[in-house]
Structure 1
C-alpha cells in the first residue's frame, strides 16, 4: 500500500524513520520525546515486534521503499533519515541492496542526512576485537552482501550525493526483541524449566548490544555533523558469555536458567523446511570464536557509553515479569 501522497511539505525538524521492526520504533520514540516530528515508514500495516508509539507528532506511511518515487515522497522534507530496515534473512539477496538504494535516493532528494543501521557480518570470524577498520573478511553469503552494502552507502557519500553515517551493532539484547536469541523462545523454554539454546559455544565471549543503546546511538549520529562519512560501532558493554548473560537474567527473574548448545544438525534439518532457518545456520560461527566489539571510537567522539549490563538486565527483567506474569524475584535489588 502506498499512501505517501499529500505528505506535509514542511522541512522544520522532520525526522523520517524507515522500518518499523525492532529498532525503528525505538528511534521514533526518542525523537518524539525530543519534540521532533517523526514520519515512520513501513512496508505494511503489520510490523513484527513494533512497539505501539501512537503519539502526537507521529505519522505513519506505508509503501515499498524500492519504488524510488515512493521513497522520494516518503522522505520529502526530512532533515534526517534513519535506515533501520532489515528484511528476513532468506530475502536478503533479493531485497537488501534495493531497499538501501531507496533510502539513499530519498535522503539525497530531501537533502537530508542518512543514518544507517548495520551489523558485523562483514568482518567474518574475527581473530580479535572488531574495530571500524578491521578487515572485511566475510565468511558467509550475508557477510558478502553487507560488504556490498557498505560500498554502496560510502560511494554515495564520496560522490556527494548524500551525507551518510553508519552505526553498527552486535546481536541485540533487550525487551521485546522477538527476532533475537532473547525472544519468545528464550522465555518459553526458561519458564518451562528447559535449557535455553545457543547456536554455538555458550561459554564463548559474545558481545550483545542493548537495543535501547542502538536507538540512542543512531539518534546521536543523526544529531552530529561530524558523524557523517564514517562508520561507528554503537555503544556495547564488554563481551561476556551467553551463559553468563542468561544466568544474570535468570537471577533477576528468580529462574534457574540453563543454557545448551544447539547442535548444527538441528539447524540443518530445520533449514530443509524453513528458508529462514536455512540462512540462520551459516551465522552460527559467531558463537564459536570470541565475538568482541570495540566501541572506543564512538565513546571518545560522543561522550557516552553503553548502559551498564546490570541495568540492562533489570530493565529487561521488569518487562518480562509484566509480559509473562512472573512473580518478582525475592532478594533481587532494583538497579540504581
Structure 2
C-alpha cells in the first residue's frame, strides 16, 4: 500500500498520478479530519491521523512500503509543526521498513543572491522558515540514522497550476484577473522566477518514490523555463482574454504592511525570492528520469481551464 500524508493540491495530484499508472493501486490518504469533499475510487482509503504524533505515524508506517509526505500548515505554525512532524516520521521509520519521499521547497538554501540552486548547495538559510526546513532535512536525511537511506527529499519552487489556492498565481490572482480587479505583484517583477507546476511535482514524487536508486538523496523537480512575473501574467491574460490591472508592490510597502498583518510579516522574510533572479537547476533529475516539465503556455492554459470550470466560466 502507498500512503499519502496530506490531501492538499500535491497529495491529490500524487493520487491521480498513481491511479493513471495503475487504476487498481491500493492507496491510503491521510489528513486530520479523515474525510474529503470529493469522491475517491473504492481502492483509495481515507483516514484521520495527526502527523505530529509518533504513535499515529508508526501505525501508518506499519501498513505501507512507501509514504509520500506532503502536509502543510500556515506559516505562523511552522515552528511547532515541522519539527514535530519530522520527529514523528523519524520514529515511524525506525519502527518499520517503509520508505519516505518528503515534499520540500527551496527555503533551506536561503538567499543565494540569484545563483542557480542545485542539490549540492548547503542548507544554510538565515531565515526562520529556511532554518526550520533545514532542520527537517537534518532529522530525516542527514542525521546518520539507519532509516536515512530510505528517505528522499524532492524540492520544488513556488507552486503554479490547478488547485493552487495561495501563491503568486493562485486563485486570488485568477479571480482578480477574471473580474478585472487590481492584481498585486511583489518585488522586481522583471526578474526571471522559477515556478513548479503541481502535476510535474507529483510525477517527480512518484518517480523518485517508485525507484530503487533514489533514496538517501535530494532531488529537484524539473521546472518550466524561468519567466518573469509580468510574462507569466501575460500568458494568463491571453487565456482569460482580459488585460490585468497590475500593481507591483515595492518591498518597503510589504514591510510596512507586515507591522499589522502577521501573515504578510511571515511573507516578508522570504521577499529575497523576488529581489533577485530565482533559478532552480534540475539537471540531476533530468539525467535520471528525463525532462517532463510542462511548458509555460500549457501551464497557463491548464490552470485557467481548471479555474474557469470550477467557477462555471466556461
TM-score after normalising by structure 2: 0.92
CA RMSD after TM alignment: 1.9
Alignment of 1:301-320 (within 5 A): 301-320=288-307
Aligned with 1:52 (options 33, 38, 50): 38
Aligned with 2:141 (options 154, 171, 177): 154
Measure the CA separation in 1 of the matches of 2:182 and 2:286: 36
Deviation at 1:52, TM superposition (A): 2.7
Name the stretch that deviates more: 58-67 or 25-34. 25-34
* 2:185–2:248 CA contact under 8 A, matched in 1: yes
Indicate whether 1:321 and 2:308 are aligned. Answer: yes
Aligned with 2:109 (options 106, 112, 123): 123
Indicate whether 1:82 and 2:68 are aligned. Answer: yes
* 1:29–1:53 CA contact under 8 A, matched in 2: no
Aligned to 1:6: none
- The answer for unaligned runs of 5 or more in structure 1 is 1-13, 328-336
Deviation at 1:307, TM superposition (A): 1.3
How has the CA–CA distance of structure 1 residues 135 and 161 changed in structure 2, closer, same or farther, with 3 Å as cutoff? closer
Indicate whether 1:176 and 2:163 are aligned. Answer: yes
SS at match of 1:176: coil
SS at match of 2:270: helix
Q: Deviations over 1:75-110 (max 9, x none)?
A: 322010011012211011111111122223323433
Measure the CA separation in 1 of the matches of 2:70 and 2:145: 23
- The answer for unaligned runs of 5 or more in structure 2 is none
Q: Deviations over 1:30-67 (max 9, x none)?
A: 22332311111112257xxx773511211111121222
Deviation at 1:143, TM superposition (A): 0.8
Aligned with 1:230 (options 184, 204, 217): 217
* 1:247–1:258 CA contact under 8 A, matched in 2: no
Alignment of 1:1-336 (within 5 A): 14-33=1-20, 34=22, 35-45=24-34, 52-126=38-112, 127-155=114-142, 158-162=144-148, 163-326=150-313
* 1:202–1:259 CA contact under 8 A, matched in 2: no
Deviation at 1:210, TM superposition (A): 0.1
List structure 1 segments (4+ residues) > 4 angstroms apart after TM superposition. Answer: none
SS at match of 2:269: helix
Deviation at 1:266, TM superposition (A): 4.4
Measure the CA separation in 2 of the matches of 1:36 and 1:121: 33
Aligned to 1:332: none
Aligned to 1:334: none
SS at match of 2:285: helix
Measure the CA separation in 1 of the matches of 2:194 and 2:293: 12
Measure the CA separation in 2 of the matches of 1:148 and 1:253: 42
Deviation at 1:269, TM superposition (A): 4.8
* 1:61–1:74 CA contact under 8 A, matched in 2: no
* 1:83–1:103 CA contact under 8 A, matched in 2: no
Deviation at 1:153, TM superposition (A): 1.4
Name the stretch that deviates more: 225-234 or 278-287. 278-287
Measure the CA separation in 2 of the matches of 1:52 and 1:81: 22
Measure the CA separation in 2 of the matches of 1:113 and 1:18: 13
* 2:103–2:154 CA contact under 8 A, matched in 1: yes
